[in-house]
Structure 1
Amino acid sequence: MLSEKILPPDLGLEQALQNKIDQKTKPLGALGNLEALALKIGLIQQTLTPELKAPHLLVFAADHGVALDGVSAFPQEVTYQMVMNFLGGGAAINVFCRQNGLGLTIVDAGVKGDFEGHNKPADFKIAHGTQNFVETAAMTAEQCSTALEHGREIVKDLFEKGSNVIGFGEMGIGNTSSASLLMSVFCDLPLTECVGRGTGLTDTQLQHKQERLTRALEFHQLDRSDPLKVMEAFGGFEIVMMAGSMLAAAERKMIVLVDGFIASAALLAAYQLNKNILQYAVFCHESAEQGHQKILKYLGGKALLKLDLRLGEGTGCALAYPLLQSAVQFLNDMASFESAGVSEKKS
């Protein structure tokens, strides 16, 4: 199975890392969540002096058959149009990646439309969008397996080029519906706790979305005992490919930066295949989408930022990356009480 080689970080270094953090010229715990982040990065890399190398963000794009069922405030063609915007450098994720020095790759996992010319996304297209999961499975078993494997290939290439930090974002009209269903099954929660307004649904549109997704759940009658079957039924090509990429990154002991609701649903899917993946994941932003807080609670995660973003694209990863830099920098460069000649707190 894809996930067999993911092992948890060796905790033998944990006490030495914690001692190093505690000996910095500050009161114990005074750097708050940055201290926990520094400890996690040190354990992932198995060193007292971690480094962040060639950070890269992957944005997976694909279309969803259910988008034609009126579950989104935007028409399906926006997926293609936004990919073109990414390629032109004009989207929020382009701006934030440029600002913070992150590499960026746009992946066509299954956009409904073809890209021509020299400026194209990385082509890993499975099909021109999934099927409508209200009526049938979103994808075949073969398509699901191919999506997982493509995700693996993409990360393997970045790793071999020297990256040890990888962030995940997405674009796909209708993908909050897919994420909500995956969440409902994998977290064993009522659908009403998982469905949100997505890109800005009205009350009437939200009711319609809930009705269609309830029908999909009733049609497929699945539980989390067979995660691949759940991914086939409800997944999007971008979500499944992202899950494969996350598993491959954890296998290579890379830091996995997780964006908002959709990316967390992909992590949730990956988690069903190997629970050790959580020890490599850094939750970057708590989304305004109501289901996201519940996914974080289910996975025991705490996000670095809470800015009420609901854009996707990996924006939370790009915005949170400077916090990883700060965590590594204080661990490596901040003076200790001993080296600075500063007296410690009286016992």
Structure 2
Amino acid sequence: MHLLQQTIQNIQGADNKMMEQARERIDALSKPPGSLGKLESLAVQLSGITGQLFPKIDNKAVIVCAADHGVCDEGVTSNPQNVTVFQTLNFPKGLTGVCAIAKITNAKIVTVDVGVKEDIPFDAGVILKKIKYGTDNMAKGPAMSREEAIQSIEVGIEVATGEIKNGANVLGTGEMGIGNTTPSAAILSVLHACNPLEVTGFGAGVGPGGIEHKVEVIQKAITLNKPNRHDAIDILAKVGGLEIGAMAGVVLAAAAHRKPVVIDGFISTIAALIAYELEPKVKDYIIPSHTSEEPGAKIAAELLGVEPMLHMNMRLGEGSGAALAFPILDAACSMMQNMATLEESMMLLEK
């Protein structure tokens, strides 16, 4: 708990003065005002995050947090749980979707076992931070204790802080956990105070009972556990997931160290919401990548107050959307570094 509190205390808002300077420069560039659209607002945000007029983000890392879910016992997914472990082992081998996309920008993939149901070998290239062997079945009781929820957040803080100390200057959030759209929808149902049907989708593959059964399980878990809407840790503990907590920790750590954090789709956005509930200033550091195909994704983004850049009909997870968005951040930085203002252009002509 001390690490979590200390991290939250270290989070300050973006540098508004630098953002004003960035806007002034962008408006003076040799182009029609606003003609580069979202690239301009992204550049302003990056300047505010880094405190630099010409931000540089050349050391990228996607932190993929892996964990299993006891609620799979309720038949909410058609996928076997052992997919979590073998995909977790595939990340260090570079064999997953996010790995393929991350190669475009030489982004590092960091894999963390925060709660996989099986033991991961010590030499597998995975950071071993297992809190427990998957969450408990939230349809029969809390997914985890409050202490375990805090521990999951602190795992994310520790891993992200380690990557930043090793030179990472932009982070992405990713996850691996069969069944994790179920706790994600449950968390969003509580935060949005809505019927789970409004935010529940097929995930990686819905179980034989269909969406209706998945919704029933989520509603049962919420009714049974009574998570406190005004206590993000209570929500995470009662109907959440270990990897969701860890990703929330990554977001908090990025904000505390003034680094941009690119979030993936639905599940990553839910994790960002948990971080936001703990400290609203994290929003200044969050860059949303894409609009997931999950029905709750748009609602989660609206609740967080962010607008994803990409609409690619993706729903893989793993941090794939974050990796895909990295080149857009590079383009925003290049615009600041390489475009001349009208005044600079005129001076060059006069020489």
TM-score (norm 2): 0.94
Question: Partner residue of 1:111?
Answer: 116
Q: In 1, are the aligned partners of 2:75 and 2:209 still within 8 Å (CA)?
A: no
Question: Partner residue of 1:8?
Answer: 13
Question: Partner residue of 2:259?
Answer: 254
Question: Partner residue of 1:267?
Answer: 272
Question: Partner residue of 1:99?
Answer: 104
Question: Partner residue of 1:292?
Answer: 297
- Measure the CA separation in 2 of the matches of 1:193 and 1:223: 20
Q: Answer yes or no: is 1:240 the counterpart of 2:245.
A: yes
- Measure the CA separation in 2 of the matches of 1:245 and 1:300: 19
Report the 3-state secondary structure (helix = DSSP H, G, I; strand = E; otherwise coil) of the residue aligned with 2:92: helix
- Tell me, which stretches of 5 or more residues in structure 1 are unaligned? 343-347
Once the two structures are TM-superposed, the CA of residue 187 in structure 1 deviates from its matched residue by: 2.1
Q: Answer yes or no: is 1:74 the counterpart of 2:79.
A: yes
Once the two structures are TM-superposed, the CA of residue 117 in structure 1 deviates from its matched residue by: 5.5
Report the 3-state secondary structure (helix = DSSP H, G, I; strand = E; otherwise coil) of the residue aligned with 2:8: coil
- Measure the CA separation in 2 of the matches of 1:117 and 1:231: 28
Per-residue CA distance 1:273-311 (angstroms, 9 max, x = gap): 000000100000110000000111112211111101010
- The equivalent position to 1:182 in structure 2, one of 187, 200, 203, is 187
Q: Identity rate of aligned residues, in percent?
A: 34
- Measure the CA separation in 1 of the matches of 2:205 and 2:122: 33
Per-residue CA distance 1:90-121 (angstroms, 9 max, x = gap): 11111111122101111101101112262231
Report the 3-state secondary structure (helix = DSSP H, G, I; strand = E; otherwise coil) of the residue aligned with 1:87: coil
Once the two structures are TM-superposed, the CA of residue 85 in structure 1 deviates from its matched residue by: 2.1
Q: Which amino acid aligns with 2:138?
A: F
Q: In 1, are the aligned partners of 2:47 and 2:55 still within 8 Å (CA)?
A: yes
Once the two structures are TM-superposed, the CA of residue 87 in structure 1 deviates from its matched residue by: 2.7
Q: Answer yes or no: is 1:134 the counterpart of 2:139.
A: yes
Q: Which amino acid aligns with 2:328?
A: L
- The equivalent position to 1:214 in structure 2, one of 209, 214, 219, is 219
Question: Partner residue of 1:335?
Answer: 340
- Measure the CA separation in 1 of the matches of 2:169 and 2:57: 6
Question: Partner residue of 1:22?
Answer: 27
Question: Partner residue of 1:35?
Answer: 40
Once the two structures are TM-superposed, the CA of residue 335 in structure 1 deviates from its matched residue by: 1.3
Q: In 2, are the aligned partners of 1:53 and 1:162 still within 8 Å (CA)?
A: no
Q: In 2, are the aligned partners of 1:171 and 1:313 still within 8 Å (CA)?
A: yes
Q: Which amino acid aligns with 1:112?
A: K
- Measure the CA separation in 2 of the matches of 1:202 and 1:175: 13
Question: Partner residue of 1:154?
Answer: 159
Q: In 2, are the aligned partners of 1:196 and 1:289 still within 8 Å (CA)?
A: yes
Once the two structures are TM-superposed, the CA of residue 215 in structure 1 deviates from its matched residue by: 0.7
Structure 1 ranges of 4+ moved more than 6 A: none
- Tell me, which stretches of 5 or more residues in structure 2 are unaligned? none
State the aligned residue count: 342
Q: Which amino acid aligns with 1:104?
A: I
Once the two structures are TM-superposed, the CA of residue 200 in structure 1 deviates from its matched residue by: 3.1
Question: Partner residue of 1:192?
Answer: 197
Q: In 1, are the aligned partners of 2:154 and 2:246 still within 8 Å (CA)?
A: yes
Q: In 2, are the aligned partners of 1:186 and 1:269 still within 8 Å (CA)?
A: no
Question: Partner residue of 1:345?
Answer: none
Question: Partner residue of 1:305?
Answer: 310
- Measure the CA separation in 1 of the matches of 2:30 and 2:108: 34
Once the two structures are TM-superposed, the CA of residue 84 in structure 1 deviates from its matched residue by: 2.0
- Measure the CA separation in 1 of the matches of 2:45 and 2:106: 22
- Measure the CA separation in 1 of the matches of 2:269 and 2:74: 24
Question: Partner residue of 1:323?
Answer: 328
